[in-house]
Amino acid sequence: MPILIDRLFLLIIPACMLLLGAMLAGCWRVQRRRFHLLWVAASYALVGSALAWQSLMSVEELQRWAVVTGMLYLFGAWSFARGLAGYYDVSARPRLGLLIGAVVLLALYYYSRVEVSLWMRMLWLNAGLGLMQLLPAARILRRQLPAGGLERAMYWSYVVFALNTSIRPILWLAAGSKGQDAAFFSSYWLMMLATTMLFALLFAMLLLANTVRDTMTALRAERNMDPLTNLLNRRAFQEAAGPLLRDPQRGPWTLLIGDIDHFKRINDTWGHAHGDHVLQTVAGALTQQVRGDDLVARFGGEEFVLLLRTDLASAESIAQRIRMQLSENRQLLPDGDRMTISFGIAPITSPTELSATLSRADGLLYQAKQAGRDRVYVARPLNEIQTT
């Protein structure tokens, strides 16, 4: 009875691993695009199953099923590596993982059937698991250093645990164990269960925290960005403009409103797909001309708004460059037709003037349209007109 109770007690940690895997799988069902959650959930399930199975085995059964349990551990380690690689969008190097797995399984077979040695099986399996987990580590660093405290903590905890996995049998032996008897393996097994559970909890919390942060960032971007042009939408522009205009260390500021000429004719003649291409091209031309503090937004349809940290003269020069760049692009419309854009430009000094300045620039844009389009109208005393 005491032995049975001890074994059931050992099942608590594998059961927790399985519950963590189920939790991650449930989170994936909510966020289906986060496939890294599903891979890590599979890793927890495989490792938890192997730990539970081995916790109930006798020494003879450990030897008999060494290759099978080794497969569960190895595929669990690769699933973990695949999940982390998916989070950072790098390769988990499956071919190298397959090679490592094959070598380790051959070693497990040899030391369970030919030259029986539990100690050598532990060394080979742990080395293979550590290497398997580390497969994407170098590519993650080459691609980008983890940004933010949570992400760095997740990455380096994973690296430390993978390294610990590789050498923990040697570390445990060097820490004071006097031999490789039953007591040694029993104490080692308890240590391995404890460290695995602690890491599984830590990594799951960090992974979920980073995933929630990424999801919130993506939702914020979807809320603020125009999906077609990837520019700010009207609401995001107005929210971002306020703090910029309130900062006394910045300025002067100038507001530009641009509107594609005869855009309805473009859609009616060549279709809405080509109209979308024109909008994306215009958005690209606008963003090429701005700096880090500037804002570019699509207010709807073919109308674009820019808030530039510059004076009227420089803003007019920028608008003229954009107008000429688009007008000279004879590949934008079929048959070499010219695509033109008109601008209205007005200065702005405070966030309380935003609505009024938008109306003023829009009035100048309307005048440019009425004067023949393909023009830049600037809020000057004489309303000087720049034409092609």
For residue 260, the SS3 value is strand
Residue in 51, 98, 103, 93 with CA at minimum distance from that of residue 72? 51
Return the CA Rg of the chain. 32
CB 24, CB 204: distance < 8 Å: yes
One-letter amino acid identity for 20?
A: L
291: left (phi over 0), alpha (psi -120 to 50) or beta: beta
Spell out the long-range contacts of 113-117 with Cβ–Cβ below 8 A and sequence spacing 24 or more: 116/63
Residue in 373, 234, 367 with CA at minimum distance from that of residue 307? 234
Q: Report residue 133 as tokens.
A: 């987990």
For residue 290, the SS3 value is coil
CB 252, CB 309: distance < 8 Å: yes
Torsion, Cα of 305, 310, 315, 321 (10° steps)? -100
89: left (phi over 0), alpha (psi -120 to 50) or beta: left
Q: How far apart are CA 11 and CA 7, in angstroms?
A: 7
Q: Report residue 237 as tokens.
A: 């522009």
CB atoms within 10 A of CB 243: 10
Contacts of 110 (CB under 8 A, 6+ apart): none
Specify the DSSP class assigned to residue 353.
Answer: G
**Residue located via tokens 């109306």:** 359
**How far from 52 is each of 17, 80, 156, 288, CA to CA, in Å?**
10, 18, 28, 59
CB 255, CB 305: distance < 8 Å: yes
Q: Catalytic: which of 60, 61, 302, 303?
A: 302
Identify whether 353 is a catalytic site residue. no
Catalytic annotation, residues = 302
